[in-house]
Chain A
Amino acid sequence: MAISSVIYNTIFRRNSIFVGTVLAGAFAFEIAFDSTVDKYWDARNIGKQWKDIKYKYVEKDEE
């Protein structure tokens, strides 16, 4: 079977599966997209954000 008909038969054939795939895809995409951008963001601003300097002050409290 050609790849296109595999895709057609597993995803597009039934509307319930198709809608489910869209929702699950959106869910997965958002997680992947957010974590990728966040990773880039944190790398670009390394050392500047609170999470980068927090350790200096949290440990002190525990003494």
Chain B
Amino acid sequence: MVNRLSGSPLFKRLASSAAVSKSTRNAVLATVATGGLAAWYVNLYGNPIKAVTLAEHGLHPGEYPWSHKGWLDTFDHQSLRRGFQVYREVCAACHSLNLVAWRTLVGVTHTSDEVRAMAEEAEYDNEPNDEGEIEKRPGKLSDYIPAPYANEQAARAANSGALPPDLSLIVKARHGACDYIFSLLTGYPDDPPAGATVASGLNYNPYFPGGGIAMGRVLFDGLVEYEDGTPATTSQMAKDVTTFLNWAAEPEHDVRKKTGLKVLIITGSLWALSLWVKRFKWTPVKTRRIVYKPPKL
């Protein structure tokens, strides 16, 4: 080992140069040894063998060009509006959206009059009256979007044991985020491929880990009628509802990106300025010459 190393050009240069001390040489050797050990460790343990098949893992979704994907792209609010319509007319039959209040839709997808009218269609518990009974009242802007089932048990009972998850944060809660949700909604083949088996009561969907999902295909061409005239194809509805669910999970999205841009511009400028100031201040130090004039004896 040592012999081989000492033959290398680097080592020769290090060893021959009088300026290189023993401690520098040790530092170089230690660095090489550390790097080598790290590489060996990664090679050995970096790729663990997994005891799940690819099917159990779920098919990896493709990457889609979401209109809000870039660093500087806002949501497409027309799409959010259509997506909310899809949620309300299709998904809301089974999935709650517990973290979204009606008021948050105002100025995002609908006007306040429109949201107020939608909220009033739902009934909520009122304050107890003088007899202590709880009556119903129409919804207000401050109410949260109503859930389809009273509790988890009711939800499971209605879906043969499977719980439709709350969709408020689902885009953040799944690997692949929007790409996964879109692929899942559009990924039901007419028949499962040869060799794939699904338990009874489950539907085949390659994107869902395991391949068998309790939710059947819910989106079909022409299922909803968009008020803006967009043809309601399966993929259009899936795209719109996914975009809407992304908004539900990240309502701060548009403001966050705009603020991020401003922060980057300001901190970028300050950084450049600080570099300039540093050079400015150090110029006299770096360019000075110290001359020693020996005293005349």
Contact = CB atoms under 8 A, between A and B. Distances in A.
| A and B: interacting chains | yes
Interface of A: 33-34, 37-38, 41, 44-45, 47-50, 52-54, 56-58, 61
A37 B265 contact: yes
Given A41-B258, A48-B67, A61 B111 contact: yes
Contacts of A57: 110-111, 114
B184 to A, nearest CB: 25
B172 interface: no
Nearest to B68: A48
Chain B: interface size category: 20 to 34
A45 B73 contact: yes
Interface string B265-293: 11000000000000000000000000000
Contact of A48 (B77, B261, B266): B77
A61 B77 CA distance: 19
Contacts of B183: none
Interface of B: 67, 72-78, 81, 107-111, 113-114, 228, 254, 258, 261-262, 265-266
Contacts of A50: 77, 107-109
A45 B70 CA distance: 11
A41 B280 CA distance: 35
A49 B107 CA distance: 10
Contact of A37 (B108, B110, B113, B262): B262
Contacts of B74: 41, 45, 48-49
14 contacts: A33-B266, A34-B262, A37-B261, A37-B262, A37-B265, A44-B73, A48-B67, A48-B75, A48-B77, A49-B77, A57-B111, A58-B111, A61-B111, A61-B113
